[in-house]
Amino acid sequence: MNAMAGKPQLFGTDGVRGVAGQFPLDRETIFKIGRALGVVLQRHVAARPLRVALGEDTRESSAWISQTVAAGLRSSLVEVAYAGVITTPGVAFLTLRHGFAGGVMVSASHNPYQDNGIKILSSSGMKLSESLELEIEALLEESPALISGRATEAGIEPEPHLVDDYLDFLIGLIPSAERLTKFRLVVDCANGSASRVVPQLLRRLGIETRILNSAPNGHNINLECGSLHPHQMAEATREFGADLGVAFDGDADRAIFSTREGRIADGDYVLYAAATFFQERGMLTGGAVVGTLMTNLGLELALGRHSIALKRTPVGDKYVLEEMRRSGINLGGEPSGHIIFSDISLAGDGIITLLQILRVLAETEKSLGGLVSQLRQFPQIIRNVRVRERRPLESIPEVNHAVSEFQREVGNRGRVVVRYSGTEPLARVMVEAEEDGIVQHHAGAIAGAIECALGLTRS
């Protein structure tokens, strides 16, 4: 594993992830991760007793993984406050609000139900630092005696007040809740964590809502629904005559929207609507918005017309947050729907994003379509190529040639990003330019070069 080589090997950009029941999500490794986390917390957190917030999504494997993590933590003398099914940002909120030593969310986010993951949060509710991830990995590799023990499942019962605390927090974000009762919504819960939280929230806010995909059975999380498949939500929004539609992913840290006309609006549209609203009211700090390498060039140009800069980071909400904190910027996010309103929460929270967009609609008395009418996204395509090894892509001559051909044709009126996924064995090729035909041609050429050079098959 070579845990101390400089970068975590077991932890990706979003925790430990894999197929449930297989390494690294087999029972023995999960128990050891829980125990190693407990040892690290004992070393670094002075407060006693040590307590960790634990939550999960709706996959069939989430309950036993949670119980195994809890057993590992308890074997290290760490108490567990178990929320049961809750969103990832809900665990982040509870961790910070109640002064827990850390938080653990069992979820593979937008992945299919066979996958799962363990996301570990610091006491601040943010993702664990790489240095502590490396320390956990070092324990797994170099100190087996310290974390040895029989992999068991702890008998844990959910504490309902934890989800209630999170709901109360969300309600408190709307000081004049009655102003939202005029809206009609369509909400796709992706048969995931949002199913536990969102219907209760919207009932308490008195918002007329058509709820989709809120009957999880352990196998249907993200299945042809949610933020990766928002077309059903968008069509329902148009048919229902709703003011707004929203689709969450499995752990509800992402949100993709629809206008009342059924036009899908990804995270770039959210950033544009929120940034221009904040700027008009003197609420946008840092004079900029933080996006990623995948943020559409159209957003950068549209924000520029309002004298708002765009700062780009590597893909991953943790990198977005790092840049926001470093530059004093209070708004950032990704096209995937991870949006961070740092004045409210340091976690990307799809539900907070929904509430903020509703606030913008209420105060401007405009539709979402009207708010984003000046944003023209460039045609963009993403090709995924499944890999069995991760050779540096820049070292492959065929790939460099294909990228150079694209750049020669479009100049500064287009972008290409070639990178590996942080959570799956994929190489991702993103191409955008003003003409769809150019985008299609060069995305295929670059993906084909990767496939040919590495002997892979395109997914």
Q: Supply the residues annotated as catalytic.
A: 109
Dihedral of CA atoms 98, 103, 109, 115 in degrees, nearest 10, equals -140
- Rounded-to-integer distance, Cα 176 and Cα 8, Å: 45
The b-or-e profile of 347-367 (16+ CB within 10 A means b, else e) is bbbbbbbbbbbbbbbeeeeee
- Rounded-to-integer distance, Cα 160 and Cα 177, Å: 24
CB atoms within 10 A of CB 270: 28
- Rounded-to-integer distance, Cα 31 and Cα 374, Å: 51
Dihedral of CA atoms 137, 44, 20, 383 in degrees, nearest 10, equals -70
Strand order in the sheet with 244-248: 208-212, 184-188, 244-248, 255-258, 264-265
Strand order in the sheet with 309-313: 309-313, 288-292, 331-333, 339-341
Backbone angles phi, psi at 344, to 5 degrees: -105, -45
- Rounded-to-integer distance, Cα 306 and Cα 208, Å: 34
Amino acid 344 reads I
- Rounded-to-integer distance, Cα 62 and Cα 116, Å: 7
Whole-number Cα distances in Å, 207 to 116, 187, 244, 357: 33, 11, 11, 14
Dihedral of CA atoms 298, 372, 170, 101 in degrees, nearest 10, equals 10
Which residues, in sequence order, are CB contacts of 143 under 8 Å at separation 6+? none
Is the distance from CB of 34 to CB of 41 less than 8 angstroms? no
Task: Report residue 244 CA to chain centroid gap.
Answer: 21
Strand order in the sheet with 414-420: 380-386, 426-433, 414-420
- Rounded-to-integer distance, Cα 17 and Cα 126, Å: 18
